[in-house]
Amino acid sequence: MATSVDRNAPMATAGNPRRRLPFTGSRRPSSRPPWMERPPLWLLVLKGIALAFIVAAMVLPFFHIFAVSLSSYADVLGGGLVLFPRNPTLEAYRAIFNGGIVVRALQISIGLTLIGTLAQMVFTTTMAWGLSRPNVPGTRAILFIVLGALLISPGIIPSYLLIKELGLLDSYSALILPGLISSFNLIIIRQFFMNLPGELIDSAKIDGASEFQIFWHIALPLSKAVLAVVALFYAVAIWNSFFNAILYLQDATKWPIQLVLRQYVLQGSDIAAAADASSNQPLPPARTLQMAIVVVATVPILIVYPFLQKYFTRGVLTGAIKG
Amino acid sequence: MSSVPTPIEGRGQPSAARPPARKGGASVWRRAWSNRAVYLFILPGFLWYVVFHYLPILGNVIAWKDYSVFTGIQASPWVGWQNFADIFSDPAFRIALTNTLQIELLQLVFAFPVPLALALLLNSLVGERLKRTVQSVVYLPHFLSWVIVIAMWQQIFGGDGFMNQLLLNQGFERVSIMNNPDIFKPLVVLQSIWKDAGWGTIIFLAALTKIDVQLYEAAAMDGAGGWRRLVNITLPGIRPVIVLLLILRLGSMLSVGFEQYFLQRGAVGADAAEVLDTFVYFRGVVNGDWSFAAAVGLVRAIVGAILIFAANWFAKRFFDEGIF
């Protein structure tokens, strides 16, 4: 059984002390089905290398960005730092949080995300509920309108003209209204509503509950998981949204964080304006400030990511997709 | 711009929903009236779809006009098919079209198979915890905005980024990656792979779990090795999903996206980075050539629709799969 160690080697997960079980040679005896033969050593090594490469390519950039944002002036000038700043300092964060453009952009983005997600959930869940009710004439036609929106999109120029005609240019509504409902999310929630136990709804109806009461007191509480994941998807999309802002907002004082990020990090605008210009202290190096902005824009995503991930690996979404 | 995975199987759901149950003679109007509260639920969303999704389509009339912001849509003079005729004699359009098709082809050849390969790799992992961990890691970049992704790439591969500092410290020459027009196309494909390949596995992994384990078991009993099982069970088992994704991919062949190219257009120049979406934006919104840009957008949308139906027809004819 010399192979037992080999075949576990690339798969060893940290913090899990290896127990040797007789005969199976595996930590979790049930994990490999009995009919599956042990792959040859070279394949395991190859897989291990591939996995290590993939994980490193995904994770290391985050560490690097974070390390740069914490670096001192000497570190940045010295160059060649990889994952750990030699003299970590929070100067850059202090500078951008002192007030100024980045703070304002963050406030705008947070506000947009909260209000936008709420509005999206209201519109999406109500329509999904309506379209999930059986035996309502006309809902099929409306469903086609919803699904058709997945195939046909109005295009950049007509969308712009609409917002212009509505007088919404340079307004925050222009960032929320055009994306109020995602057909895809609506279909997911509708699918979930349709699978709610019909007897529950019928008995509530017999007891005299109104459509709204059923929706509010039965449907929504029973759908918390799917609502949470859709809300998170909506929130992440608004936080990340760039296109609508670049299209509809001329006024740079209204820019959300993604546009500010582009301005200072990709276009290299003078970073001093992004931080508090009034303080007399010398600013940290531009590179450090830039990476601090990247980190600040990334952290909200990293915070909600575990919740998102918990749901979609459980198959809430894929279940709905597969129908 | 929805952030959830591609709507592969939106089909089936509408029909599954409504059994044609005619309740003993109740007329359509009576059923409608008794469900009037339901219509109230539908109404706000319905109005939104009409106003924000279908109404703007009418705005495409300016493609047949000589629109300017000062005269407005109504008062602008009609010019017939002039704007459409101009499209193909426009050199900048030709560049944008060529770039779009080249990038899409590269994506199809190099980026499309990666999620499939990654899904097979993940699926072959026996340890459940390792699988979960790797999944969490590879899904993550999908949730970052392109601005953040490009900023990270800039920091690592940019002119005075991490990699070049390392090279300089070792006494090598600086290499130009992020602002080199010659390698821009492979670069964007790599960026797309980094950002979305992990997320792309989700649909394949879902399909892989649907394959009957007994097939594998029986095949193994009959002496089929790992490779035979992959070729003869796994790949045929997820063929429907592969075909569906290919159809969608072909259908969106003329839209490679906006942000990734818009953000890097400054660094590599319009000749390398202009794609149809950015072309329409710059021509219309920035340069004020509204009618021409609308014509380009319209042609693109129509060709895109034709492509998706053609791909669907093709898939039905030859693979017995399709989305509608």
- Chain A touched by B14 (CB under 8 Å): yes
Contacts of B158 in chain A (CB under 8 A): none
Q: Residue B8: pLDDT band by 50, 70, 90 thresholds?
A: very low
The pLDDT, as a whole number, for residue A8 is 38
**Minimum mean pLDDT range among A242-251, A288-297, B239-248, B286-295:** B239-248
Return the pLDDT at A80.
Answer: 56
pLDDT at B255 over 50: yes
Q: Where are the strands (E) in A62-151, listed by range?
A: none
**Cβ–Cβ under 8 Å, residues A174 and A244:** yes
Query: What's the confidence (pLDDT) of residue A59?
Result: 92
Q: A2 burial class (0-12, 13-18, 19+ CB within 10 angstroms)?
A: exposed
The residues that bridge with B65 in the sheet, in sequence order, are B78
CB of A236 within 8 Å of any CB in chain B? yes
CB-nearest partner of A123 from B44, B198, B277? B44
Better pLDDT: A30 or B114: B114
At residue B25 the predicted structure's pLDDT band, cuts being 50, 70 and 90, is: low
User: Distance of CA A96 to CAs A75, A224, A280, A288, Å?
Assistant: 19, 37, 14, 11
- Whether A196 contacts A125, CB under 8 Å: no
User: Does residue A178 have a pLDDT over 90?
Assistant: yes
Report whether pLDDT(A27) > 60: no
What is the Cα–Cα distance from A70 to A75, expressed in whole angstroms?
Answer: 10
Give the SS3 label for residue A223: coil
**Predicted local confidence at residue A296, as pLDDT:** 94
B275 part of contact set with chain A, CB < 8 Å = no
Taking an 8 Å cut-off on Cβ atoms, the answer to whether B31 and A152 are in contact is: no
Is A124 in contact with A189 (CB distance < 8 Å)? yes
ipTM of this complex prediction, to 2 decimal places:
0.84
Q: A219 touching B, CB under 8 A?
A: no
CB A245 within 8 A of CB A175: yes
Produce one character per residue of A91-113: b if its CB has 16 or more CB atoms within 10 Å, e if not. Answer: bbbebbbeebbbbbbbebbeebb
Out of A61, A139, A160, name the one closest to residue B152 (CB): A61
The C-alpha atoms of residue A223 and residue A226 are separated, in whole angstroms, by 6
Provide the number of CB pairs (under 8 Å) joining chain A to chain B. 333
Cβ-based neighbours of B264, under 8 Å, separated by 6 or more: B150, B178, B184, B188, B273
Tokens of B187: 């670069």
Only one residue has tokens 């920091």, namely B155
Q: Write out pLDDT tens, residues A191-206.
A: 999 989 889 999 999 9
**What are the structure tokens assigned to B192, written together?**
């797309």
Interchain contact A209–B (C-beta under 8 A): no
Query: Where residue A12 falls among pLDDT bands split at 50, 70, 90?
Result: very low
Residues of A in contact with B139 (CB under 8 A): 309, 312
CA angle, corner B87, sides to B86 and B91, nearest 5?
A: 100
- CA distance, residue B318 to nearest chain A CA (Å): 23
Point out the residue among A27, A130, A147 whose CB comes nearest to the CB of B39: A130
What per-residue confidence (pLDDT) applies to B244?
84
According to DSSP, the residues that pair with B78 across neighbouring strands are B65
Q: Please, what is the average pLDDT of chain A?
A: 83
Average pLDDT of the residues in A185-191:
92
Contact, A259 vs A105, CB < 8 A? yes
Decide if B243 contacts B235 (C-beta within 8 A).
no
Whole-number Cα distances in Å, B312 to A69, B10, B145: 49, 14, 31
Please compute the mean of the pLDDT values over residues B141-165 and round it to a whole number. Answer: 90
From the list B8, B198, B217, the residue facing A321 with the nearest CB is: B8
pLDDT of res. A272: 64
With contact defined as beta carbons under 8 Å apart, do A273 and B163 qualify? no
A11 shares contact with chain B (CB less than 8 Å): yes
Nearest CA in chain B to A178: B52
Closest chain B residue to the Cα of A245, Cα to Cα:
B259
CA distance B217 to chain A (A): 6
Among A209-213, B10-14, B73-77, the range scoring the smallest mean pLDDT is: B10-14
Mean pLDDT confidence for B190-215 = 91
Which range scores top for mean pLDDT: A140-154, A305-319, B96-110, B119-133? B96-110
- Chain B environment of A142 (Cβ under 8 Å): 42, 46
**Burial level of A303, CB count in 10 A (0-12/13-18/19+)?**
exposed
